[in-house]
Structure 1
Amino acid sequence: MQTLIKNTEITQPLTSVQRKQYELEWQKISSTKEMLRVWSNGQLTNVPETYYDEDILSLILQIQKNEEGNHYVNAGLIVGTMIGQWNLFISTSFIEYRFWRLISEGKLLFKGIPYAMHLYFLRIP
């Protein structure tokens, strides 16, 4: 927070032209159908909601292989790995939403109590 305050003290306010440019940029971004946006190559990019699905499935498969047998993997561990190791700025709610979509598509199996991520486990069928 201190860094943010310090940076705003030395930053000049936006000009009306800059502000208008950001406003137009946001209108363009927000008018698209995609519900997920990622920071890529120095800019905000719209991507389909399935953007991370293959990475999620690969991570689960990798963790399953590191265990002996094809065990179920704790959903909280998967989310923690994604956010921590991949440095993602994405909500855990969105990741969990993708879990349930993958389950409904038959790409993931689950067991446990679907109340909270630490109470259920996932695996590749």
Structure 2
Amino acid sequence: MSCFYSGEVTPEEALIIYETCKEKLPLTQEQRKTFEQEWADLSESEGTLRIWKHGRIISVPEDYFDPLIIRTATRLQHEEHDRKILCLRLVGELIGRLYAEEKQYIPDQFAEYRIRRLVGEGIFRVTDTPKGLWYCKISLAHHKSK
């Protein structure tokens, strides 16, 4: 079973977790102190984005995933014969690739935020915005979209 947050766990899966773990010993004082210190260190860090890497949570710059966003958009735009792509599709592909390739999860709101920032930086062009970014079409600024 793999999940990123407790809302993904069904009641049946929660029961399995409970049954599997109810006989396990609680944390030792030393283990608890270690986790408390790790949390204190994380809470004091000024990073806005944290990822799981090499068995640890680390802070990374908020633009850490931008190269992947751009590569994913490039691939999708190429698959669409250089036509504009739906932003919602880019977000879905990005979240799927991050999980499949790196076992990372980012909320769709964060992906949308980064795409908005890339639009602001001139990396993407936005067209067709009847209901906001989710429903608009975007293209890479250096591509000639059809």
What TM-score does the superposition give when structure 1 sets the normalisation length?
A: 0.88
- Aligned-residue CA RMSD (Å): 1.6
Structure 2 counterpart of 1:22, from 30, 35, 44: 35
Equivalent-residue separation in structure 2 for 1:57 and 1:23 (angstroms): 37
Structure 2 counterpart of 1:49, from 58, 62, 66: 62
- Which position in structure 2 is the counterpart of 1:40? 53
**Secondary structure of 1:97's match?**
helix
Judge conservation of contact 2:98–2:105 (CA < 8 Å) in 1.
Answer: no
Equivalent-residue separation in structure 1 for 2:16 and 2:91 (angstroms): 28
**Secondary structure of 1:5's match?**
helix
User: Relative to structure 2, which stretch is displaced further, 4-13 or 55-64?
Assistant: 4-13
Judge conservation of contact 2:47–2:59 (CA < 8 Å) in 1.
Answer: yes
Question: Residues 57-111 of structure 1: CA distance to partner in whole angstroms, max 9, x if unpaired?
Answer: 011011111122x211111111111222331311111111101111111111112
Residue correspondences, number:
123
Segments ≥4 residues shifted beyond 6 Å: none
Structure 2 residues not aligned, in runs of 5+: 1-13, 142-146
- Which position in structure 2 is the counterpart of 1:73? 85
**Secondary structure of 2:50's match?**
strand
Identity across aligned pairs (percent)?
28
- Which position in structure 2 is the counterpart of 1:64? 77
What TM-score does the superposition give when structure 2 sets the normalisation length?
A: 0.76
